[in-house]
Amino acid sequence: MDVQNAFLQGNLNEEIYMELPSGLHNQGEHQSKHDYTLFTKQQDMLFINLLVYVDDILIIGNDNKAINSLKTYLHQTFRIKDLEEPKYFLGIEVARTSSGILLSQRKYVLELISDSGLSGCKPNSIPIEQNTKLTSQEFNDSTKSPKEDPQLQDHSKCQRLVVRLIYLIITRPDINYVVQILSQFMHSPKQSHMDAVIKVVKYLKGSLRLGLFLKGNLDLTTFCDSDWGSYPMTRKSLTGFCIKLGKSLISWKTKKTIHSISIFSRGRI
């Protein structure tokens, strides 16, 4: 759903403090403490989730009558356009099939490739080569001199590309590892960092069809692992985990740990 006549570009000269109106709470919706844009309602077997982003609203639930009642209430309060089943939401394409739902950002990737000037480039088969060590030191290894890996004169292009790649992780966990590494050097990127970013974009060109496929199954499985102190500058470990609901990947993360650890277990919940 889309709220009509929402003015998003107003010029404000004062600091504005806002408190959410009580309207949704009157309908039995509870605001999530982990994500303030998410409202949930659950009664017995009924559940409804409502997600708000500025003037865009996404409603998910298991009872069409309750959903229509909520939509009627919203229509009475605001002028809202009902777009029916979502096909495109915040840059994410939603494709429904008989076996599940595919979430992808193909259009977003095409725009990223075009804005990078790489529409005519040859695709890469992998986002980063194995054992690649990126650092902020004067040189990356003993075979390179500082002149071969200079600081970028214009940081903005590299920084802008990495920020766009971070948003792409929403449906592309296959680039999560390399993007979290690149994001550590954005305060002062070097040519080697820019080269790595370009390789990721070339990889995206060759993998446009990839996304997240969600299929109904309630078996929860988790995997996690660590690379045992491989970060070259501090010798800290990189730890990663992923969580699946059935065969659907629903949560994942890669982060640098405070202390080096040997290895995590792998198993089921």
CA distances 240 to 224, 243, 252, 261, Å, are: 6, 11, 7, 12
- Please choose, from the candidates 98, 79, 63, the residue with its C-alpha nearest in 3D space to the C-alpha of residue 215: 98
**pLDDT for position 166:** 92
The whole-angstrom separation of Cα 176 and Cα 254 is 7
pLDDT tens digits, 183-230: 888 888 888 888 999 999 999 999 988 998 888 777 889 999 887 766
Contact predicate 31/38, CB 8 Å:
yes
Tokens for 176, please give them: 């999560």
* Domain spans of the chain, in order of start: 2-84, 113-205, 215-268
The whole-angstrom separation of Cα 171 and Cα 210 is 8
pTM (two decimals):
0.73
Facing residues of 266 across strands?
223
